[in-house]
Chains A and B, each alone.
Chain A
């Protein structure tokens, strides 16, 4: 006789059992959070300005934008000159320099020179050690 707790697992649909269970638990937890914290959430959504004072949007969005450009450039160069890690090497140099300049407060000449040296030497060292000494594949 089948009891209330008996379960038959259909193998063809077994991939959905756990995701559905987890989604239901997540939905319940999310609803409880929304209900118990509705005042806080409402206040946060209605807050103006949306970004708190002191947020450095230029550096934040600059980092995201430069990172996306970095990844795209790395992929392109890597496809044009494959299997040598040049995508990593030649995309990293301008990226490291650009991020350094973005994070620098003011552009004094000495610091810029050090940043340029850092941008050339650091990727070169990493590329040489990983790609040439350890034979690790780089883009």
Chain B
């Protein structure tokens, strides 16, 4: 009955509005789902957890989906996860099948989203139940595993792990928190900084700086293409879309959705990896691989199913272990913190109502995404032509609001936004990776507590190997991920 009382018109409105705004963000190149969630986060302060989550999950689903529009019509991926959509979507649009490609992509996105939602619903509670048994030792090893997996799958293993460990180090700035059993002593800073950095850098200004401000700085450096480059979007419809286009695509859909969901599960690995992996698999298993890249509908389906498959997958480690699956779910941690709720193995059991409502919000968001994009695709093309010189200053302003309000009004958080906006820009220039940095930043304080408390409790380093069979399995997985990264690096060199 609790669920029925939560299903208010406001809940549905926020989910659908979030999805719509997310689609717009996703469809504008340079703006991502992560940015949409970061910028709209302050709006959730007064909404409560369930309605706030409804808005943010709508933004997440919409933001991931919207990228296909410019990818197909202009050969410009709206989000990094739509890169492979351009390979076949744009050639289809060029030969007059724009509408067909868009609707194929939209329907494939719906399938990917629904598939991963089902996996999320079935798998996350089971994983959380299992993880409840973990002691500090296993929890530390899980974080260690997350870092090695992240490194193995990032563009460059060394850079990936360096970025992750750097994030971890930055997260340790401040006092060793007494509430976590620490001694309250400061480290990694000068005495004059103690007043500002008692609890270290706040997560949300860091995230908003890295994903909001830095994206605008990168655009500014490139001169800010005023019309978003989208004014020339026209939907060609010489070959109409038919549902029968999905005939013979069942294996492709299922495989791509599975790949997307699995990649989502892995921490720090984003939608672009999901769609690239899925696209290459679709090509490998195709009877006509030479048709890929020339406007093969299977390519659009593989790419779009996988990147939406990511959404449910990335929420699994977040809600069962407290480890975000990608950068957008990392921001969702901030939304939970804001409401005083800690995500981890106990979350689902202790917050059954919120968990169920999150599943419903994802379901509604996926359906809304499909309806909005399938039936109003022409209108979306018009909306995304809002000039960036009007859009960006407003986004900058919203970044400030989000940073300032997170701790109920601390000006230092606004400066943190600027510092990490510049850090994000610098990362972009020198080739460091933001996603592993953020995952390291989020997991750093927990890793410290688990590591130090394990040593305090057991007084022996071998405990990390001998504590339980789970610890041993985790070491096998850690070794496998390191082996994988070395294997991938060698293969790339050959």
A-B contacts, 29 listed (Cβ < 8 Å): A5-B460, A7-B455, A7-B461, A11-B183, A15-B175, A15-B183, A15-B184, A15-B185, A15-B186, A18-B172, A18-B452, A19-B188, A30-B162, A33-B159, A54-B223, A56-B221, A59-B220, A60-B217, A71-B418, A99-B392, A100-B393, A103-B392, A114-B390, A126-B397, A130-B405, A134-B46, A136-B45, A136-B405, A139-B404
Residues in A with CB closer than 8 Å to B158 are 29, 32-33, 36
What CA separation (Å) do A115 and B390 show in the bound complex? Answer: 6
Is B398 close to A, CB under 8 A?
yes
Q: Are A118 and B394 neighbours in the complex by a CB distance under 8 Å?
A: yes
Chain B 408-452 near chain A by CB (<8 Å), digits 1 or 0? 110100110010011000000000000000000000100110011
Q: What is the predominant secondary structure among interface residues of chain B facing chain A?
A: helix
Asked if A81 is an interface residue, CB under 8 A from chain B, the answer is: no
Q: Which residue of A lies closest to B414 (CB)?
A: A71
Q: Is the CB of A68 within 8 A of B166?
A: no
Q: Tell me the nearest residue of chain B to A57, going by C-beta.
A: B221
Interface: A43 (CB within 8 A):
no
CB neighbours of B183 from chain A (8 A): 11-12, 14-15
Interface size on B, residues (CB 8 A): 63
Instruction: Please give the distance in Å from A20's CB to the nearest CB on chain B.
Output: 9
Contact of A126 among B172, B401, B456 (CB under 8 A): B401
The answer on a CB contact under 8 Å between A88 and B400 is: yes
- Most central of B186, B221, B444 by chain A CB within 10 Å: B221
**In contact, B162 and A22 (Cβ under 8 angstroms):** no
Q: Is the CB of A26 within 8 A of B165?
A: yes
Q: Does B480 contact A (CB under 8 A)?
A: no
Which of A22, A68, A100 is B172 in contact with, Cβ under 8 Å?
Answer: A22
Judged by a CB distance under 8 angstroms, whether B169 is at the interface is yes
Q: Which residues of A contact B (CB under 8 A)?
A: 3, 5-9, 11-12, 14-19, 21-23, 25-26, 29-30, 32-33, 36, 54-57, 59-60, 62-64, 67-68, 70-71, 74-75, 78, 88, 92, 95-105, 111, 114-115, 118-119, 122-123, 126, 130, 134-139
Residues B226 and A103 in contact, CB atoms below 8 Å apart: yes
B459 near A139 with CB under 8 A, answer: no
Compute how far the CA of A100 lies from the CA of B397 in the bound complex, rounded to whole angstroms. Answer: 12
B residues near A56, Cβ cutoff 8 Å: 220-224
Cα distance, A136 to B172, chains bound together (Å): 29
Chain A residue with the shortest CB-CB distance to B407? A137
**Contact across chains for A135 and B46 when beta carbons are under 8 A apart:** yes
Interchain CB contact under 8 A, B459 and A7: yes
B452 adjacent to A17 (CB under 8 Å):
yes
CB–CB A14/B456 < 8 A: yes
Cβ contacts under 8 Å, B139 to chain A: none
A15 contacts across to B, CB distance below 8 A: 175-176, 182-187
Closest approach, in angstroms, between the C-beta of A11 and any C-beta of chain B? 6
Apart from the given pairs A54-B223, A63-B220, A123-B397, 14 other A-B contacts in the complex at a CB distance below 8 Å: A5-B462, A12-B183, A26-B169, A30-B162, A78-B411, A88-B400, A88-B401, A99-B392, A99-B393, A103-B388, A115-B390, A137-B404, A139-B411, A139-B414
